[in-house]
Amino acid sequence: VSATTTDRPDVEAYLAAVRDELADLRPNERDDLLAEVEASLHDAAEESDAPIAARLGPPADFAAELRAAAGLAPDTAPPSSPRRDRLATAWRSPRTASLKRVLVELAPIWWVARAYVVVALVAWAFDVDWSITAPFVPTVGIGGPGSAGTGLLLLAIAVALSVAHGVRERRRGRPGTLSVAANVFLALAALPLGGDLVERASNRAPTSVYVESPPIPGLALDGVQVENIYPYSREGRLMLDVLLYDQNGVPLNVRPEDGDPSRRVLQAADGTDLFNAFPIRFFEAGTATVAKPGAAPAIRWSPVVTPPLKRSPKR
Amino acid sequence: MDRSQLLRGTLDAAVLAVVAEQDGYGYDVLRRLRGAGLSDVGDASVYGTLRRLYGGGALTSYVMPSDEGPHRRYYGITDLGRAQLDEARTTWGDFAETLTGLLETVEVTA
């Protein structure tokens, strides 16, 4: 092909169009023809500034005339786009053939991958949990939440089946249409799945699990129920009927709702029951007396040495 | 009479005759054909014909540097081409003579 250069874009465009029209010819045949045309069109263009298409007609007609005069078969093939033609040529090229061989060698990797895709899809469809320790493994049925055992077993079975299927297909030569369709489907499904896995791996579950339990009713200290409160003065004397309030002035009412008749509930002048009086005391059965008002659990007592606070004179 | 139909059957001979007279490149051959009176010969027909005659061995080709612009591919006639041209001359001569005779006869009787 000559090293023609031109400042006539219309000539270049025309040549490109003619080349496309001749896409079905053998490459060397086409190049020979086009080399002749190219040089001549540039010669012609030098003599006239008129647009080349106006003088020569549509590129398709030009190509047909060229083809007929050169004694080459008219393009009877269904109008195939030059791009498709180029693709077909590339598909038959030796480089593509060696690539295809490599891909066939690597196919077992896909057999394993598609088995995983199938299991993951099923896990998705049934919305099962994924293992906490191994975020890529769905947990199935037994084994408890977060356990990878059954999921791994299922994966192993799926991989074995998939590889067996792949080997069988390979022996048979050509894969069935259904098989091809299934593989394409799985390959497409693998895309969103892959994204999900990457996300799953990046915010991998913490190794320790916090179990959210319902809040403990009443008073609690560090999650342990406080049944009763025994207030002592700094002198070490158990105080009775101490009313406790929180930082908002809300009485620390303990079990106001349980209606235990044996509980000694203090009463205010306005008639309200005081459930925040400590220690909570209980009457002897059937009476209104507390047997041992000073009873208290054993405490470790040591005299307080910090000087007592002084109330401000104002109050 | 459709000149393009006539041209289709005789373009080989015309191109061979032009090249036999003097070697030429594609556009040059086209110009000389037009100059000789075949004003309606198609560009693509001439280029296609040149390639076909070259492919068939009737023409030889060589590249010549040109003063302005790219190198030019020249075509020259071969012995085979000359033989084809001679044959074409004979065929055309006979054909033209026959047809001329026919047409004149018909015109007289009509």
Q: What is the pLDDT of residue A4?
A: 46
Residues in chain A: 315
Q: Could you report the per-residue pLDDT of A154-208, keeping only the tens digit for each?
A: 888 999 999 998 888 888 766 778 888 888 898 888 888 888 777 776 765 555 6
Q: What is the pLDDT of residue A211?
A: 67
Q: What is the pLDDT of residue A204?
A: 59
- CA A120 vs CA A125, A132, A181, A194: distances in Å: 9, 15, 19, 10
Q: Could you report the per-residue pLDDT of A31-48, keeping only the tens digit for each?
A: 888 888 888 888 888 777
CB < 8 Å to B51, chain A: 32-33, 36, 70
Query: What average pLDDT score do residues A113-130 get?
Result: 80
| Beta bridge mates, B8 | none
Q: Does A14 touch chain B (CB under 8 A)?
A: no
- CA A246 vs CA A193, A252, A275, B13, B106: distances in Å: 52, 6, 13, 118, 133
Confidence of residue A3 (pLDDT cuts 50, 70, 90): very low
Q: Which of B43, B48, B70 sits opposite A68 (nearest CB)?
A: B48
Q: Are A116 and A189 in contact (CB under 8 A)?
A: no
pTM listed for this prediction: 0.43
Report the chain A residue with the minimal C-alpha distance to residue B75: A36
Secondary structure in 3-state letters for chain A: CCCCCCCCHHHHHHHHHHHHHCCCCCHHHHHHHHHHHHHHHHHHHHHCCCCHHHHHCCHHHHHHHHHHHCCCCCCCCCCCCHHHHHHHHHHHCHHHHHHHHHHHHHHHHHHHHHHHHHHHHHHHHCCCCECCCCCCCECCCCCCCCCCHHHHHHHHHHHHHHHHHHHHHHHHCCCCHHHHHHHHHHHHHHHHHHHHHHHHHHCCCCCCCCCCCCCCCCCEECCEECCCCCCECCCCCECCCEECECCCCCECCCCCCCCCCCEECEECCCCCEECCEECCEECCCCCCCCCCCCCCCCCCCCCCCCCCCCCCCCC
How close does chain A come to B104, measured CA to CA in Å? 32
Query: What average pLDDT score do residues B94-107 get?
Result: 86
Chain B segment 79-108 residues within 8 A of A by beta carbon are none
C-beta atoms of B44 and A65 within 8 A: yes
Q: Which of A3, A36, A62 sits opposite B26 (nearest CB)?
A: A36
| Beta bridge mates, A277 | A243
Q: What is the pLDDT of residue B48?
A: 92
Report the chain B residue with the minimal C-alpha distance to residue A3: B70
Q: Are B61 and B54 in contact (CB under 8 A)?
A: yes
Q: Does A262 touch chain B (CB under 8 A)?
A: no
Q: Does A278 touch chain B (CB under 8 A)?
A: no
Q: Does B21 touch chain A (CB under 8 A)?
A: no
Q: How far apart are CA A6 and CA B63, in angstroms?
A: 19
C-beta atoms of B45 and A33 within 8 A: no
Residue B94's Cα: distance from chain center in Å? 18
C-beta atoms of A62 and B45 within 8 A: no
Q: Does B10 touch chain A (CB under 8 A)?
A: no
Res A147 pLDDT > 90: no
C-beta atoms of A39 and B25 within 8 A: yes
Res A146 pLDDT > 70: no
Confidence of residue A130 (pLDDT cuts 50, 70, 90): low
Q: How far apart are CA A29 and CA A70, in angstroms?
A: 10
ipTM, two decimals: 0.85
Q: Could you report the per-residue pLDDT of A84-96, keeping only the tens digit for each?
A: 667 777 776 777 8
